[in-house]
Amino acid sequence: MKILIIEDEKELANSVATFISQDGYVCNINNNFSEAEESINLNDYDCAIVDIMLPDGSGLDIIKLIKKIQPKCGVIVVSAKNSIDDKITGLNLGADDYITKPFHLSELNARIKSVIRRRNFDGKNQIIINELKIDVDKREVKVSNKIIDLTRKEFDILLFFISNKKRVITKEAITEHIWGDDSNTFDNLDFVYTHIKNLRKKLSEAGAKDYINSVYGVGYKFSVE
Amino acid sequence: MKLINKISRYYLINSVILFIIAFAEIYFTLNWIITDEIDEQLRIKNEEIKKRFYTGELVNDPPYIEITKVENVIKSTGEVTDTLIYFSSERESEPYHQIISFVHKDGNNYKLVVRTSLIEKEDLFYSLLIIFGITFASLVTILFFVNRKSTKDIFTPFYHNLNQLKNYSVKADTPLNLRDSKIEEFSELNSALYSLSEKAAKEYKALKEFSEDLSHELQTLVAVIKSKFELLLQKVGLDEESANNLQSAYHSLNKLDKLNRSLILLAKLESKDLFESDSIILNDIVNKVVENYRDIAETKNLKIDTNINSDLTIICNAPLIETVINNLISNSIKHNIENGNIDIKLSGNTLEIQNTGEPFTGNTDEFFNRFNKASKKSDSTGLGLAIVKKICDLYNYKIGYFYDHKYHKIKIYFK
């Protein structure tokens, strides 16, 4: 998988690249409009992360270009302005998703995975990890071919974990992913723990391995050998 | 007290003093002249009467002429003296001037008293009083009409300008529109106000742009730091203490991020940016938010009751109204007590959210102000309610807060 990161803030671009390349993705970083233009013309990408505000042009024009030259490439728009206009314009131009800066790397990663899955699995949006089989569209989880009954939030948490497997995910990132951007103002994030406890219980009762480990007070990690 | 009344009062008080002085001066001067004249006349009359007495044609004519036979003669001085004569018919005494002289005729001595009435002096006093009274009354009347006219001519533009100033806001784009005045002081005041308002508006705009720029710059920096923290947390082999330090720094960073986002949203709301509007079914939003937070409320053993009997549809921006409902409901969870209640009622055009909680100690009027934290809880940015209020203001929804029977109540009336 090849990912193009178009972001003028170099350090942020590096962080994103480091985080997502763990899954074996190849990342190209472009810091401005002209570099990005060249990359799009030269290489094929599976997904592009496009910052709208670039020093020498608008990310919206990049989206147009990608859609013209590489219609198969997924696009995620990144904007520093929490502007609804940018979101609507971006999505109307054919972008697959929209994320506001600052974001959790795990959140961006989950969205990249989701875009790639939607674009590459030809309608059969499935993830298989050992005995776990997840049908993303049907929102169904099977352990050794036996359906287990998860609540909406438990399912979303599991999917978020799997998208970020082998990485530490913070409680804050989980909270914002499940309860929305505005939910992070709660001081006590114990409610996250309750859901994860239930999820782990349901998975292990169905005979799955316990993949979810807690990491000190920081968060959780979905470990797959 | 109005300026014109104040000036009139000074004017009237000084006029009264002036009138009293003038009255006294005129009265005493005239009095002196008249008395002198009367006495002169009296002396002439006295001489004439003496002459006529010798010719024998004179008769008694009290109180003006009194002739009495006397034994002894006292040497007459010929001086004018004061006297009071009592009139039984009018039961009062009246002032007179008199000259007493003694004459000798046919071997007899006679006392001759010639008098003249001073009653004119009293007439003088009353005449003067009437003249002064009428003049003073005219003065007051003229002053009244002059005031009325000048209030209209001079102060109408002044009050118009005052009203403009009262409604002026540096936030609004409309500049001051003052009415010109031909009066120097007022026109100077106008130009001072113009330059003051222009300066204030300019500085406000600069400050606003600065804070907006600052927020956006911060956002990029926070994004970088946040991403680096997340990478650091991936490191295997972090000891527990480092992990905890990292976690608490990361937690604060997230709060900074939240605060900054709130400030950006507030700035956008204040600059009255245009927000796209949709037709929104309010109870869908309420139900969505309640369902989203129900599990969070349950960890605090809070009971959420929703009582929705209205299918109110409003025209507004969907993310904004979601923010309103979201902030209010998350607040009702945060500032609640263990085993507390949250009641959400939507009926007609009114949404009422009430929850149990410690009483709000501050001023109720400042409840929706920025950084007016209801409690010392560190998890609130202090901007949530300010944002709610600003959004309600944007759409002219009335919002009110009160504390009643251990319940915090917030009511929004959607027009």
Burial classification of residue B78, based on how many CB atoms lie within 10 Å of its CB (0-12 exposed, 13-18 middle, 19 or more buried): exposed
How confident is residue B178, by pLDDT bands cut at 50, 70 and 90? Answer: confident
pLDDT at B111: 85
Residue B143 lies in a domain: no
> Over pLDDT 70: what percentage of chain B?
97
pLDDT at B78: 75
- Mean pLDDT, chain A, integer: 89
pLDDT at B378: 54
**Could you say which residues from 82 to 141 on chain A have a Cβ atom under 8 Å away from some Cβ of chain B?**
82, 84-85, 88, 101-106
Higher pLDDT, A109 or B164: A109
Instruction: Considering only the beta carbons, identify the residue of A15, A84, A218 that sits closest to B319.
Output: A84
Pairing of strands B407-413, B398-404: antiparallel
CA A84 to chain centre: 20
Residues A95 and A166 in one domain: no
Residues B195 and B82 in one domain: no
Give the domain extent around B353: 278-413
Distance (Å) of CA B77 to CA B43, B74, B81, B84, B108? 12, 9, 10, 20, 20
Residue B170 lies in a domain: no
Residue A7 and residue A16: Cα distance in Å, rounded?
Answer: 10
Contact A168 B296 (CB under 8 A): no
pLDDT at A4: 95
DSSP H/E element including B15 = helix B3-55
Residues B287 and B261 in one domain: no
pTM of the model: 0.72
Residue A80 and residue A103: Cα distance in Å, rounded?
Answer: 10
Residues A14 and A66 in one domain: yes
Q: Which residue has the tokens 């929703």?
A: B306
Give the domain extent around A206: 126-222
Residue A114 and residue A97: Cα distance in Å, rounded?
Answer: 10
Residue B101 lies in a domain: yes
Residue B153 lies in a domain: no
Residues of chain B contacting A216 with CB distance shorter than 8 Å: 238, 240, 243-244, 247
Dig out the tokens for B4 from the structure: 């014109």
Q: Which residue has the tokens 């990049």?
A: A62
pLDDT at A184: 64
pLDDT at A94: 85
Residues A116 and A130 in one domain: no
Contact A102 B292 (CB under 8 A): no
What would the pLDDT profile of A154-184 be if each residue is shown by its tens digit? 999 999 999 999 999 998 899 999 988 777 6
Give the CATH number, domain containing residue A50: 3.40.50.2300
Residues B335 and B380 in one domain: yes
Strand partners, A58: A53
Task: Among A120, A140, A167, identify where a domain stops.
Answer: A120
Residue B169 lies in a domain: no
Q: What SS3 class is residue B98?
A: strand
Residues A194 and A150 in one domain: yes
pLDDT at A84: 65
pLDDT at A20: 93
Residues B353 and B257 in one domain: no
Residues A13 and A104 in one domain: yes
Instruction: Assess contact for B256 and B263: CB atoms under 8 A.
Output: no
How confident is residue B241, by pLDDT bands cut at 50, 70 and 90? Answer: confident
Domain count along chain B: 3
- Flag whether pLDDT at A188 surpasses 80: no
Residue B150 and residue B287: Cα distance in Å, rounded?
Answer: 64
Burial classification of residue B176, based on how many CB atoms lie within 10 Å of its CB (0-12 exposed, 13-18 middle, 19 or more buried): middle
Residues B119 and B217 in one domain: no
Task: Among A70, A97, A120, identify where a domain stops.
Answer: A120
Residues B113 and B19 in one domain: yes
Q: What SS3 class is residue B179?
A: coil
Residues A64 and A111 in one domain: yes
Contact A182 B276 (CB under 8 A): no
**What angle, 0 to 180 degrees and rounded to 10, lies between the N-to-C axes of helices B318-334 and B384-394?**
140
> Over pLDDT 90: what percentage of chain B?
21
Residues A115 and A148 in one domain: no
- Mean pLDDT, chain B, integer: 85
Which residues, at least 6 apart from A209, have a Cβ–Cβ distance to it below 8 Å? A130, A131
Residues A79 and A38 in one domain: yes
Residue B145 lies in a domain: no
Higher pLDDT, B1 or B264: B264
Instruction: Assess contact for A62 and A37: CB atoms under 8 A.
Output: yes
Most B CBs within 10 Å, among A27, A165, A216, to test the B interface: A216
Residues B406 and B285 in one domain: yes
Strand partners, B112: B67, B101
- Flag whether pLDDT at B165 surpasses 80: yes
Task: Report yes or no: B374 at the A interface, CB cutoff 8 Å.
Answer: no
Residues A31 and A62 in one domain: yes
Dig out the tokens for A165 from the structure: 């497997």
pLDDT at A96: 92
Residue B1 and residue B3: Cα distance in Å, rounded?
Answer: 6
Residue B243 lies in a domain: yes
Nearest 5°: phi and psi at B268?
-65, -40
Contact A153 B317 (CB under 8 A): no
What would the pLDDT profile of B326-381 be if each residue is shown by its tens digit? 999 988 998 888 899 999 999 889 999 999 988 777 777 777 877 765 555 555 66
Residue B66 lies in a domain: yes
Residues B120 and B20 in one domain: yes
Across A155-169, B185-199, B229-243, B283-297, least confident range: B229-243
Residues A17 and A78 in one domain: yes
**A vs B: CB pairs below 8 A:** 121
Give the CATH number, domain containing residue B221: 1.10.287
The 3-state secondary structure of chain A, one letter per residue: CEEEEECCCHHHHHHHHHHHHCCCCEEEEECCHHHHHHHHHHCCCCEEEEECEECCEEHHHHHHHHHHHCCCCEEEEEECCCCHHHHHHHHHCCCCEEEECCCCHHHHHHHHHHHHHHHHCCCCCEEEECCEEEECCCCEEEECCEEECCCHHHHHHHHHHHHCCCCEEEHHHHHHHHHCHHHHHCCCCHHHHHHHHHHHHHHHHCCCCCCEEEECCCEEEECCC
Residues A78 and A94 in one domain: yes
Domain count along chain A: 2
Distance (Å) of CA B102 to CA B39, B67, B68, B187? 19, 9, 10, 83
pLDDT at B375: 52
Instruction: Considering only the beta carbons, identify the residue of B227, B264, B296 that sits closest to A186.
Output: B296
Residues A73 and A10 in one domain: yes
Residues B288 and B263 in one domain: no
**What angle, 0 to 180 degrees and rounded to 10, lies between the N-to-C axes of helices A84-92 and A59-69?**
20
Shortest distance, CA A175 to any CA of chain B (angstroms): 11
